[in-house]
Amino acid sequence: MSDAPQLYLMTPAGAQASALGPLLAEVMDRFPAACLRIRAGAEEDELGRLADLAREIAHARDVAVVIDDHIKLAQRHGLDGVHLTDGARSVRYARKELGEDAIVGAFCGASRHEGMNAGEHGADYVSFGPVGASALYRGEPAGLELFQWWSEMIEIPVVAEGAITRELLADLSPVTDFVAIGAEIWSEPDPLLALTALWGG
C-alpha cells in the first residue's frame, strides 16, 4: 500500500447542478475520490438540487458525500455527513444531530489547538489550509510542519486544502491522508485536464 493521499473532491462554490453534473461524473470516473464535498455558496434550493445530483453520482461510485455546514440539508438529502467550517465549535452538535455513523469533518485553518479540540469533540477528520497562497481563505497558510506534526502525533485523518499546486502535493503526500481539490481545477477551462496535470494519471 502506498502512502499517497486520497483525493477529496470539492464542488465549485455556488455551482449550478445542471451545469456541473456531466463534468462531475466524468472527473469521478477518471479519478476515484474518497469523498465529495459540496461547497456552500448557492441558494438553499439550488444546494438541495446539487446535493441530490452529487449523492446520485458519488454513491453510484461508492464515494461518500458531505456538505459545508448544512446539517439539515445533509439529513434531508441523504448525504453522508457535514464538513464544518468553524473549527471545533459545532462538532458536538453535528454529531448529536446526525448520529454516530455520519461523517463529521472540521476545517481548522492553521490551528493545531483547534484541530485537537475538533478531534476530542468527535470529528472524523480535520482539515487544515490554505496550504498555498490563497485569497479565498482567511488567516495564515497552514505550513508543512503542521501536517508533519499531526501525522506523527495524532491518529485522526488529516486533509490538506487550499491553493494546492503540484509542488505542494509532492511535499504533502507523505504527511496527509487526503488532499482536497476544488477551485484549483474548476477555475480552469478544462477541469479534467487540470486535475490530470495536478494529480497525475
Helix (H, G, I), strand (E, B), or coil: what is residue 101?
coil
CA distance 104 to 164: 23
Q: Cα separation of 160 and 94, whole Å?
A: 22
Q: How far apart are CA 100 and CA 97, in angstroms?
A: 9
End-to-end C-alpha distance for the chain, whole angstroms: 17
Considering the entire predicted model, what is its pTM? 0.96
Q: Which structural domain range is residue 56 located in? A: 6-199
Asked if residue 24 is part of any domain, the answer here is yes
Is residue 110, in this structure, part of any structural domain at all?
A: yes
pLDDT tens series, the chain, 201 aa: 247 999 999 999 888 898 899 999 999 999 999 999 999 988 999 999 999 999 999 999 999 999 999 999 999 999 999 999 999 999 999 999 999 999 999 999 999 999 999 999 999 999 999 999 988 888 889 999 999 999 999 999 999 999 999 999 999 999 999 999 999 999 999 999 999 999 986
- Per the structure, the count of domains in the chain is 1
Q: Tell whether 1 is covered by a domain.
A: no
CATH of the domain at 119: 3.20.20.70
Residues 6+ apart with CB under 8 A from 21: 53, 57
Between strands 81-84 and 103-107, the pairing is: parallel
Contacts of 101 (CB under 8 A, 6+ apart): none
Rounded CA-CA distance 133/136 in Å is 9
